[in-house]
Structures are given as structure tokens and as C-alpha cells.
């Protein structure tokens, strides 16, 4: 009997449907001939809680830290015991096993850890599926690989899970205990990704709070030239009071010039034209889709992830969504006419865009060299039933299809024009854009962003018709929202000051992963560290206090981004995990020594001036995917070395994919 273990039931059903023969539903698996297809339910196993290693760890005490498991243990999740029993029985009867986890680091981990935990000693084949459509699954079944080729990926995922446990359990316990000494009643959760993300928001809030607006002034003049009219802007010279960005700080010089301008004549002294070609935006990665959906439709990042999962699993309309890639395999290009014909059925706008597409065109998106474990999000070709999609699902689906359709449109071609005039011995500048070929642009917007200038000839005369001075103020940075915070996590090098680290991080995956970024934001909201204010994300008082009390290294992105690089080295170059974990333990000891109740007491007091409220204590102490240890028994209230176990759902770390 051949046993195929899928990551989730929806994938198991797709595999069973693609096998030759009739599928029969059994308890916990599907039977197709001599093949049984069973499934996990996400992670069936989790890292054991601290008290599984020593019952004394039920009591949260500073003198227990750091807790360093040896050997590491996994325990079944409570709701997973029945399915684990099914898999245990099926493995005993199997002669061949196929690993059908999702094609990524966590997918490799969650199926393989079950196979190993249940004691299978035979060979394992690897089935990689990123598209649940039957033809795609049939192709994947025809090219099984040896799971041994993915052992480095498994070790990287296992190392990530252990490192997150070490970091989250120890630091959460330490800061919760000193928090109780400082008068804070609740869990203070610390994680290797969530805390630097919170740090980004806290620092942005601090910039906004400290911002002092400064007035500046601009002068424009409407000019008449032979071909029509245009508006040009004064470029004051260094003789005038300017800030570091060249903005005029005194109104009087602008007023004096504005009074002299009407009727004055000058000349076009410099004219620059540049023809530009811009290729269509690439198909989406998950994060890129989350950014666009947040901007267009105000959808939270977690909502977009959930929508994509439904479009992938329930409706089977898009390919695997948790992808960090924006490129497609070359073989998909030949299938595009049939795929897009099915994908655009039932929608007038998509049908119109498909009719205008040149399906013989090949854009830069079709590049096997840039496709890794996953490819970009794309339609499967299944005809959508829009009556079964809610408004948000339909909108996200159209975005995915649009970005693939755009690859079959010509580049956007524009002519950019910059003109400099000299009037009354002062410089004025104007710029405009002329649309030459609309290309893919109408699929994205019908708005003309920069109007064109009238026809211009260098040396021609220009006469000022009118002039005005406008008073403006410098503006603070915008608060983060879902779109900008996801983008910041993707491009984390922008928030690093060290030039060497910045160079290194430009090529990394950023903060978090495609699969975890939305969940990290929601976790911070649920734990009471972030507050949604309309579409903005602000840090709560507790969030500010925690970040300001932690060592700066714990709240900045350098560590976690470099972690991802070390994990990538384990996955891609088969480096040993031990040196990484050893260095982490040394780092943990330094961070634990910095846990200080007095510092936290001061930051909690200072945070009372922060406008964003702290949610109710019940909500603030509830942790999803927590990292603090399972619930334990009661103890004495507080002391320097001892505290009662705070109520938390932590310690069941990594129930879901990703990182806290």
C-alpha cells in the first residue's frame, strides 16, 4: 500500500481526484486503488512546553532562565490526537510513503516531523504541488522526487522552530516576571519577529509625536508660451533662507517676486525630453498582493491571506498563495491562452482585458531561473463562479488575474519633459509627461498622473500671466498601516543604519516571511501592543513601554533578518544548525541579564502620555501562538526570583506556520 500524506485535507482531496480510479472516503483518509491519501491539519505536533522537560518549570522563575531543552521533544496538539492515530495505523500498513507537504520550509517540516515522530524508517518520496487544478496535480504525481533531497530544508525549519522557542520562551518569561515587579499585571510577550515589528511602529509613533512642523513657502507662475499655457515653480537660490531640502523659509522674497511677475517676459533656457518604457508590474507575491489590496480596498493583510487561502483551497481559482516569488515558469506561458480563457469567464472587465491581450507576447515574468520552491500567484484556469465569491474574494481574484494578464500587454511608453525658464533673472521649472503608448496602464488606472506640457521650443519667449505664493508646512511621517507595515517588513534594509548590514539585508527575504507577516501584525493587535485607528496602526501604551524597556538589539530588525540568512544557509548550503543555536544561547544570556524591573517601571510610567490606549487586561494577556510557556500552577505573588505563573496560552509555539 502506498501512503501519501498531504499537509491539509483540501490538498489530499485534490491528490485523490488526480489519481486513476474511484476515490472512497474512509475515516481520516481517502482510498484510491492501492493508494491511501491522508493528511495533517497544519501542525499536528508542537514543541513541548518547558514543564515537559522539568515539572519545576511550571513555576515562572528568573533563576530558571535560560531554559535549554536537551534533547528536544515534540508533543501532539490536543485536537490532533485522532488524526495522528490514523496516520500511525496507516504507516504500519504502508510499504511506500509520499510526503506531500506544501513546497516551502514549514510544509517540509510539518509532514516530515510527523513521519519521523511516528517511527517510519523506510524511504520517503516528495510530492511538490503548488496548483490544485487536476492537470497540475497529475503532472506533479508523475515527477516524484526523493525526500532526502530536502533534508537541509527540513533542518532549517526545525532549527527555526527551536530557535523561536528558545528566544520566545526565555525572553517572554523574563520580561513578564520583571513586569510584575514593575507593577504590570499581564504577559509581556517577546518574539524574534513580532518585537522588531512592534519596534518599527513604536519608533514611527515617536517620530510623529516629536515632529515640529516648520512653515515654508512656494511660488508658482502661470506662463504663456507659443503652444499654450503651463505652470512653473520658482527655484530660489542660495541667497535666500532655505532648509536642507531647498525649501524657502521666508515669505517676503516670494511675495516681492510675485508682485513683479505678472506681465514679465522671459525665455525657455533649457529643455530636456526623455522617452521612457516601463514594463508591466510582475505577477504578485503574497506580500505584494497584500500591499496593493490594502491600498486599493483597505483590506488588512491577514484578511488578504485568508482570502487567498480560500481562493486556493475552497474555490481552486489561484495557485499556492504563500509565495515570495513574482515570476512564473516558462511552461506556464504555453498554457496561458487556455488558463486565462477559463479564468476570465463571467466577468466583463476581465473578458475585455483578455480580448485586448496579445497572448504570444512573452514578458520578463516567465523566468525559470527566478522561480524557487514557489512561483508567483496566478489563476489556475478554473472558471470562477462569482455567485460563490464574496466581494472581497472577487476583488482579490481580479487583482491576481489582472497582473498575469498585464504580461501580455506592451510596455507603457511616455515622454518626460522638463523645462527651465528664466524670468526677471530667476529660475522657474515645469515638468510634464506625454503618453505615447498606454500599454498595460489601463488595466491599473485610467488616471493621468502628470499632465503633459504644451509644445515647447528651447529659446522661445514665455510671459507670466499670474503668480501666487502658497504657504505650506512640513508634514510628519505617516503612521503605519497594513500596506506600509508589510512593505517595511519586505524592505527592512531601509530601517537599518549600519552600512555593512544594510548591504547584506538588501538581498534577504526581509522581516518575517510571506506566510507569517499578516499573522504577526494580527498577533500584535490581539496581544494589545498595536491598536487599529481607522486604517492606521499605532502602538499602545504597553507596546511603547515594552520596546523602550528592552535592549535596543531585541527591538531592531537586524537580528531577525540575519537569522533568516543563517536559516537560508542551512537550507540552501546544508550548513550545520549547531553553531547557529550555540550563538543564539550566548545572545540570550546577554539579553536576559538586561531584564530590569526599574527600567520597565520607568517606561510604563512614561508611556502614560501616549495617546493610543492599552486594550483591556484580558485581551492584552491573551496570546495567540504565544511564546511564553503553557499554563501552570499558582505560586507566590512576586519576588525578585519568583512569580506566579501568568495566564497565557503561550508555549504552544508554532502551532501554525511561521514565526512569532
Q: How many helices (H) and strands (E) does the chain have?
A: 22, 17
Integer Cα distance of 233 and 223 in angstroms: 10
Residue 223: give its domain's CATH number: 2.70.20.10
Coil, helix or strand at residue 508: coil
Cβ pair 365, 322 in contact under 8 A: no
Domain that holds residue 503: 156-210+478-621
Does residue 567 fall inside a structural domain? yes
Structure-block grid coordinates of residue 376: 508567483
Integer Cα distance of 4 and 91 in angstroms: 10
Does residue 644 fall inside a structural domain? no
For the annotated catalytic residues, the residue numbers are 320
> Same domain, yes or no, for 134 and 204?
no
Does residue 128 fall inside a structural domain? yes
> Same domain, yes or no, for 440 and 540?
no
Cβ pair 537, 201 in contact under 8 A: yes
Residues 6+ apart with CB under 8 A from 611: 538
Task: For 114-136, give the DSSP string.
Answer: HHHHTT--S-EEE---S--SHHH
Cβ pair 557, 507 in contact under 8 A: no
Does residue 63 fall inside a structural domain? yes
Residue 373: give its domain's CATH number: 1.10.290.10
Which pairs from 574-582 meet CB under 8 Å and 24+ separation?
Answer: 574/152, 574/155, 577/155, 577/156, 577/158, 577/159, 580/159, 580/163, 581/159, 581/162, 581/163, 581/166
In eight-state DSSP terms, residue 406 is: G
* Per-residue confidence (pLDDT) for residue 607, from 0 to 100: 81
> Same domain, yes or no, for 259 and 363?
no
Cβ atoms within 10 Å of 334's Cβ, excluding its own? 10
Q: Choose one of 440, 473, 506: the last residue of a domain.
A: 473
> Same domain, yes or no, for 142 and 167?
no
Which residues sit opposite 99 in a β-bridge? 5, 126
Structure-block grid coordinates of residue 308: 487567498
> Same domain, yes or no, for 509 and 469?
no
Cβ atoms within 10 Å of 191's Cβ, excluding its own? 29
- In this structure, the chain runs to a length of 660
Coil, helix or strand at residue 466: strand
* Per-residue confidence (pLDDT) for residue 657, from 0 to 100: 39
> Same domain, yes or no, for 62 and 167?
no
Does residue 637 fall inside a structural domain? no
Cβ atoms within 10 Å of 430's Cβ, excluding its own? 22
Cβ pair 465, 222 in contact under 8 A: yes
Nearest to 221 by CA among 473, 463, 459, 471: 463
If one counts the domains in the chain, the total is 4
> Same domain, yes or no, for 508 and 404?
no
Does residue 649 fall inside a structural domain? no
Instruction: Give kind and range of the element (H or E) at residue 276.
Output: strand 265-278
Does residue 659 fall inside a structural domain? no
Q: Give the number of C-alpha atoms closer than 13 A to the C-alpha of residue 338, restricted to the C-beta side.
A: 5
Residue 87: give its domain's CATH number: 3.40.50.140
Integer Cα distance of 219 and 464 in angstroms: 12
Cβ pair 625, 654 in contact under 8 A: yes
Structure-block grid coordinates of residue 623: 496570546
Residue 164: give its domain's CATH number: 1.10.460.10
Cβ pair 164, 659 in contact under 8 A: yes
Integer Cα distance of 2 and 12 in angstroms: 14
Does residue 575 fall inside a structural domain? yes
Is it true that the peptide bond before 66 is cis, omega within 30 degrees of 0?
yes
> Same domain, yes or no, for 95 and 109?
yes
Q: Give the number of C-alpha atoms closer than 13 A to the C-alpha of residue 229, restricted to the C-beta side.
A: 8
Structure-block grid coordinates of residue 326: 513574482
> Same domain, yes or no, for 44 and 99?
yes
Nearest to 591 by CA among 137, 167, 180, 68: 167
* Per-residue confidence (pLDDT) for residue 249, from 0 to 100: 96
The segments of the chain whose pLDDT lies below 50 read 616-659
* Per-residue confidence (pLDDT) for residue 609, from 0 to 100: 64
Nearest to 143 by CA among 182, 116, 185, 103: 103
> Same domain, yes or no, for 9 and 132?
yes
Residue 68 CA: distances (Å) to CA of 53, 65, 171, 316, 410: 9, 8, 13, 43, 58
318, 322, 326, 332: CA torsion to nearest 10: -40
> Same domain, yes or no, for 419 and 272?
yes
Q: Choose one of 473, 489, 524: the last residue of a domain.
A: 473
Coil, helix or strand at residue 464: strand
Q: Cα 547 vs. chain centroid, distance in angstroms? A: 21
> Same domain, yes or no, for 303 and 398?
yes
Q: Choose one of 150, 177, 197: the last residue of a domain.
A: 150
Amino acid at each position: 500500500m502506498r501512503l501519501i500524506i498531504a499537509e491539509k485535507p483540501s490538498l489530499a482531496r485534490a491528490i485523490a481526484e488526480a489519481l486513476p480510479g474511484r476515490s472512497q472516503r474512509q475515516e481520516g483518509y481517502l482510498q484510491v486503488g492501492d493508494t491511501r491519501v491522508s493528511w495533517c491539519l497544519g501542525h499536528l505536533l508542537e514543541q513541548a512546553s518547558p514543564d515537559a522537560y522539568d515539572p519545576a518549570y511550571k513555576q515562572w522563575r528568573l533563576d530558571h532562565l535560560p531554559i535549554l531543552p536537551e534533547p528536544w521533544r515534540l508533543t501532539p496538539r490536543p485536537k490532533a490526537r485522532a488524526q495522528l492515530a490514523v496516520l500511525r495505523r496507516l504507516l504500519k500498513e504502508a510499504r511506500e510513503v509520499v510526503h506531500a507537504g506544501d513546497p516551502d520550509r514549514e510544509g517540509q517540516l510539518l509532514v516530515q516531523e510527523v513521519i519521523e515522530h511516528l517511527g517510519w524508517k523506510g524511504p520517503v518520496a516528495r510530492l511538490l504541488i503548488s496548483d490544485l487544478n487536476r492537470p497540475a496535480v497529475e503532472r506533479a504525481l508523475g515527477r516524484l522526487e526523493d525526500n532526502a533531497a530536502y533534508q537541509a530544508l527540513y533542518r532549517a525549519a526545525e532549527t527555526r522552530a527551536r530557535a523561536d522557542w528558545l528566544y520566545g520562551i526565555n525572553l517572554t518569561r523574563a520580561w513578564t516576571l520583571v513586569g510584575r515587579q514593575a507593577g504590570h499585571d499581564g504577559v509581556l510577550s517577546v518574539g524574534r519577529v513580532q518585537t522588531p515589528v512592534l519596534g518599527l511602529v513604536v519608533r514611527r509613533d515617536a517620530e510623529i509625536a516629536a515632529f515640529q512642523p516648520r512653515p515654508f513657502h512656494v511660488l508658482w507662475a502661470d506662463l504663456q508660451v507659443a503652444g499654450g499655457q503651463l505652470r512653473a515653480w520658482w527655484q530660489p537660490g542660495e541667497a535666500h533662507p532655505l532648509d536642507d531640502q531647498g525649501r524657502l523659509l521666508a515669505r517676503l522674497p516670494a511675495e516681492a517676486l510675485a508682485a513683479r511677475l505678472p506681465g514679465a517676459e522671459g525665455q525657455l533656457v533649457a529643455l530636456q525630453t526623455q522617452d521612457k518604457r516601463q514594463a508591466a508590474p510582475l505577477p504578485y507575491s503574497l506580500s505584494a498582493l497584500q500591499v496593493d489590496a490594502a491600498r486599493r480596498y483597505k483590506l488588512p493583510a491577514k484578511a488578504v491571506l485568508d482570502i487567498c487561502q480560500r481562493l486556493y483551497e475552497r474555490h481552486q481559482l489561484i495557485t499556492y498563495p504563500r509565495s515570495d516569488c513574482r515570476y512564473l515558469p516558462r511552461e506556464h506561458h504555453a498554457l496561458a491562452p487556455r488558463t486565462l480563457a477559463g479564468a476570465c469567464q463571467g466577468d466583463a472587465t476581465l473578458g475585455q482585458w483578455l480580448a485586448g491581450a496579445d497572448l504570444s507576447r512573452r514578458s520578463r515574468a516567465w523566468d525559470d531561473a527566478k522561480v524557487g520552491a514557489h512561483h508567483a500567484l496566478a489563476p489556475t484556469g478554473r472558471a470562477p463562479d462569482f455567485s460563490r465569491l464574496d466581494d472581497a474574494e472577487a476583488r482579490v481574484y481580479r487583482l491576481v488575474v489582472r497582473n498575469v494578464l498585464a504580461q501580455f500587454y506592451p510596455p507603457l511608453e511616455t515622454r518626460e519633459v522638463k523645462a527651465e525658464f528664466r524670468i526677471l533673472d530667476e529660475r522657474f521649472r515645469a515638468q510634464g509627461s506625454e503618453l505615447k503608448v498606454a500599454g498595460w496602464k489601463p488595466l491599473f488606472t485610467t488616471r493621468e498622473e502628470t499632465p503633459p506640457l504644451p509644445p515647447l521650443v528651447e529659446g522661445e519667449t514665455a510671459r507670466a500671466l499670474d503668480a501666487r505664493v502658497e504657504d505650506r508646512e512640513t508634514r510628519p511621517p505617516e503612521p503605519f498601516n497594513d500596506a506600509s507595515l508589510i512593505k517595511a517588513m519586505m524592505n527592512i534594509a531601509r530601517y537599518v543604519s549600519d552600512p555593512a548590514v544594510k548591504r547584506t539585508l538588501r538581498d534577504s527575504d526581509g522581516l518575517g516571511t510571506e506566510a507569517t507577516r499578516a499573522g504577526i501584525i494580527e498577533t500584535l493587535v490581539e496581544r494589545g501592543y498595536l491598536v487599529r485607528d481607522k486604517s492606521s496602526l499605532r502602538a499602545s501604551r504597553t507596546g511603547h513601554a515594552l520596546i523602550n524597556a528592552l535592549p535596543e538589539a531585541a527591538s531592531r530588525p537586524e537580528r531577525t533578518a540575519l537569522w533568516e540568512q543563517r536559516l537560508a544557509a542551512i537550507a540552501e548550503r546544508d550548513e550545520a544548525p549547531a553553531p547557529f543555536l550555540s550563538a543564539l544561547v550566548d545572545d540570550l544570556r546577554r539579553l536576559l541579564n538586561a531584564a530590569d524591573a526599574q527600567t520597565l517601571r520607568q517606561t510604563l510610567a512614561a508611556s502614560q502620555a501616549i495617546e493610543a490606549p492599552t486594550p483591556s487586561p484580558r485581551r492584552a494577556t491573551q496570546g495567540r501562538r504565544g511564546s511564553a510557556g503553557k499554563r501552570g500552577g499558582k505560586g507566590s505573588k512576586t519576588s525578585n526570583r519568583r512569580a506566579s505563573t501568568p495566564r497565557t496560552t503561550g508555549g504552544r509555539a508554532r502551532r501554525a506556520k511561521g514565526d512569532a
